[in-house]
Amino acid sequence: MTDTASANPVLRVAPAAPTEAAAWFRASLAFHADVSDVAAALAADGDPGFVLVDSRSALSFDQGHLPGAVHLPTALVPERAGRLLDKDVPVVTYCWGPGCNGATRAALALAERGYRVKEMLGGFEYWAREGFAYETGRGPARRDPDPLTAPVDGDCGC
């Protein structure tokens, strides 16, 4: 490694070998879904092939949740998952947003009980910030897309 690379904070630890990196990123995709992909799956005709689980409190759920989401707070997964979810249907969990690990904890609790599960990156925050419709205790709602999180033309190209 050159002196420039050792002084560079990004390269202070060398990137993984390409085969290791590919395995890690492939595994990451098995555990995570992004807001845009979830929205596209829900917008398509027919069954999206998964069920959404909102792992937040009742007050938070009423404040806003994804259309069709099952309300299952993380702490209640052990007692309610069997009544609310089918183990044959994959689950996508979400919570408030990137600063909250409730969806991760819910996903762990579900996986430990035999559910196939992914976590939606960005949570409810990024769902709303990207301008997707959501439901509240008072009915449907939608915000204008945040230009810092949602592409102007609706397609980030990734």
Q: What is the pLDDT of residues 53-110, one digit of tens each?
A: 999 999 999 999 999 999 999 999 999 999 999 999 999 999 999 999 999 999 999 9
Mean pLDDT of 26-35: 96
pTM: 0.89
**DSSP string of 80-124, one letter each residue:** HHHHH--TTS-EEEE-S-TT--HHHHHHHHHHHTT--EEEEETHH
Q: What is the pLDDT of residues 1-17, one digit of tens each?
A: 455 556 788 888 999 99
Cross-strand bridge partners of residue 71: 54
Confidence bin at 148 (pLDDT 50/70/90): confident
**Domain boundaries of the chain, sorted by first residue:** 33-135
Q: What percent of the chain is modeled with pLDDT above 90?
A: 83
Q: Which one is the CATH code of 33-135: 3.40.190.10, 3.30.160.60, 1.10.3720.10, 3.40.250.10?
A: 3.40.250.10
In this prediction, residue 147 carries a pLDDT of 87
Instruction: State the number of CA atoms in the 13 A half-sphere of 54 facing the CB.
Output: 23
